[in-house]
Structure 1
Amino acid sequence: MSIDEIESVIVGASAVATSVFSFLIWRANIQSAKAAKGAADAAEASAKISKLMLDAEEEKKQNLRDQIKRDILKQTSFIMNILNEMKESSMPSLTMIRLPEKINNVTNFELASYFTKEERQLIYYTVKKYESYRNDYFKDGKPNFKMDEKFTKDTEELLEKTKDVIIEFTDKIYVTSNIEIG
């Protein structure tokens, strides 16, 4: 065999080897692309699942907040009604005795988790005002007060606090009226 023939065989073998390696690299690229698409699909599915879980958690949080708001509104409305009855009663101590010993069984965790800073402050100050009112005007669980200016003022302030809570936690009510335009 001559050098030209050997050179031709080497060139041919190199061409075949290059073709085989190119084919193998091409196949590896296809497999790599399929793997990348699979990983991207998995990441997309994982993101959807995470979003669904987050949405479910937000809905649960909103439901808990709504329930706590209803409880607070119920307690506050009850107190406000009694305070209003006291103002109109000739014997306020008989009405006053119906005031609950304690209000707001909402935990600090629930307050921090479900309410804004302003709402927490409103709840806190209303509860403190109520506790102070109970301490000042109840002895041994029974009303004990003088019908003086301080008592009237404190009752009115507590009434205003309860109204503030009710206004804050009541959804907007749209009132329509029938007005005839002449």
Structure 2
Amino acid sequence: MSKDVSQGAGAATPSRKIAVVMGSQSDWPIMKFAVEQLENFGVAYEARVVSAHRTPELLFEFADSARANGFAAIIAGAGGAAHLPGMLAAKTTLPVLGVPVPSKYLKGMDSLLSIVQMPKGIPVATYAVGEAGAANAALSAISMLAIEDEALAEKLAEFRANQQQAVFAMTLPPSDD
């Protein structure tokens, strides 16, 4: 899946897109939260399955060519023995943002530990297990792009201000609407 939503003000240029990769199609229900954030901000992205264990050659090819293909960062989600983010980080100097996907037996703790325990010198920025982690990884990628894109920085500031206003509007007890 690829979407160039880079038309219009405040959008990242097509040469500054974000890769959203996952180990399996079963990771999509979590990783779609990263894609939704990128779309909300008008950031170009490509989403694809790249399995560290079943398609290692594809992983190496993808990582080796990621910078040349215009990616600014890679958001990588995986569950279980979640080696995808770490292997990508080993093969590219682009920022890799790791999203632990909840697993069937250990509720994502295995995924989290597989991603967060990287050896010194091969960093993976690791996020929360699940939907919040995927969304926050995308917001971090957007922040990286916003360093050089003032319009995108303004959109991000507006997003944060809207979050603050939503909290100020909360009342207790909550209404039953």
TM-score of the superposed pair, with normalisation by structure 1: 0.26
**Structure possessing the higher radius of gyration over alpha carbons:** 1
TM-score of the superposed pair, with normalisation by structure 2: 0.26
Judging by fraction of residues, say which structure has more helix: 1
Judging by fraction of residues, say which structure has more strand: 2
